[in-house]
Amino acid sequence: MPTSPPALLVVHADDLGMRFGGGHPLDLRRHRLAVALCREAGILDAPGVVVEDAPGPLDDDALTRVFAPAFVRAARRYSADPALAAEWEARQWGFDQDLPAYAGMHEDSARGCAAAAAAARAVGEGRARRAFVPAAGSHHGLANRAWGFAVYNETAVAVRALLDAGAERVAYVDLDVHHGNGTQWMFYEDPRVLTLSVHETGRHLFPGSGFAGETGGTGAPGSAVNVALPPFAGDDAYRMALARVVVPVLTAFRPEVIVSQNGVDHHHADPLSHLLTTMPLYPDLWRGLREVADAVAGGRWVALGGGGYDPCTAPPRAWALLAAEMAGVAVADPVPDAWRARALADGCPSPARGWTEDPGPAPDPDRDRRAAEGSAAAIEETLAAIGRFYGMGTGSRAATPPSATSAVHADPSHQRSS
């Protein structure tokens, strides 16, 4: 008798991820502690949950399905001899002080890509309903350039793996505080792929893109949707973006599968942004994604990690809560003592006792009022920009399938870095 595919496939290895060292913001404790919390809370032992070791690096044939062969060769060259990255040519490939070359970086990044591809293929081929890779989620890299904190764009690899598995409509939802620029530009002319990003405005934060007028290329009008929130936006702004933009657009697009990048670097304690979300937001976001995936994509959902640079605060609990939502597991306070002991041993000074315990940002009514007004205006700007494609005017919640008759084109060459 045939067995049902797992409800949730978790692809993981504790040593997965980039190893920059030297105080670099990318700290592997983020995903290690998330998976440890999943394990201690019993999420990984729930019925229908399967944990799979991350595979070895994605081979060059698979990488060049997504990235330019010359770029892959350059990344291999600097990975084999990092001293060569001091030459000026390395800058054109994106290797700089934010992304310093080190021995083995190609293999580390290609391993993250392999994990993302394995998760996507499992869902695309019907071998799992949902899949989660907490250590993946890089989203800035372009087809011919490293960008952000990884050599290769893992989210783009997941999307490509689903297309190669036969999917004809893939939605990519990016909730990281930084615009998912690489994935947007790589699929900007592909009408099969919707990219939808909610982030802090590029006027104040890297990578300097993701404005409402970026709505897809001439061959794919309406295929990009951006909500650019102002500094100091918080929980209500993300909830409003989910309700008024993300869910209606996904409902109209009706993807066969959803890929989500679930960065939590918009948390108020994060050192790399200006947004002020709190832990109680994250279960609402994950529930919203699960419900819309169930409603429009048959539950098919590939979730990746993403940003989050205070490794002891938001990422471990937020991503464990994401795994719990995907697995259909209810969790309750307190978090397991064994996990708190592990976090203390890993250098976290005061591990939280509650799943959504959070003191929140310091109160500032004037700041919060201005952020609320700016967030509402940003969402209205997005609705105005995508109205021609989805029948969503400002103040409207209605949505209809996108039109193929017009587009607002944003030139990727006009991107600004900060």
**64 pLDDT more than 70:** yes
pLDDT per position as a tens digit, 255-311? 999 999 999 999 999 999 999 999 999 999 999 999 999 999 999 999 999 999 999
Cβ(375)–Cβ(240) under 8 Å? yes
Mean pLDDT within 83-96:
95
Catalytic residues, by residue number, are 140
Residues 364, 366, 371: CA angle, nearest 5 degrees: 95
Q: What is the pLDDT of residue 403?
A: 36
**144 pLDDT more than 90:** yes
Percent of the residues in the chain that have a pLDDT greater than 70, as a whole number: 93
**396 pLDDT more than 70:** no
**182 pLDDT more than 70:** yes
Tell me the residue type at 222. Answer: G
**393 pLDDT more than 80:** no
Domain ranges of the chain: 8-50+111-414
Residues 206, 21, 88: CA angle, nearest 5 degrees: 60
Q: What is the pLDDT of residue 39?
A: 98
**137 pLDDT more than 50:** yes
Q: What is the pLDDT of residue 378?
A: 98
**CATH superfamily of this structure's domain 8-50+111-414:** Histone deacetylase domain (3.40.800.20)
Q: What is the pLDDT of residue 398?
A: 39
For 348-372, give one letter per residue: b (16+ CB within 10 A) or e.
Answer: beebbeebeebeebeeeeeebeebb
Q: What is the pLDDT of residue 407?
A: 31
Q: What is the largest CA-CA distance in the chain?
A: 63
**Binning pLDDT at 50, 70 and 90, where does residue 406 land?**
very low
Q: What is the mean pLDDT of the chain?
A: 93
For 146-164, give one letter per residue: b (16+ CB within 10 A) or e.
Answer: bbbbbbbbbbbbbbbbbbe
Percent of the residues in the chain that have a pLDDT greater than 90, as a whole number: 91
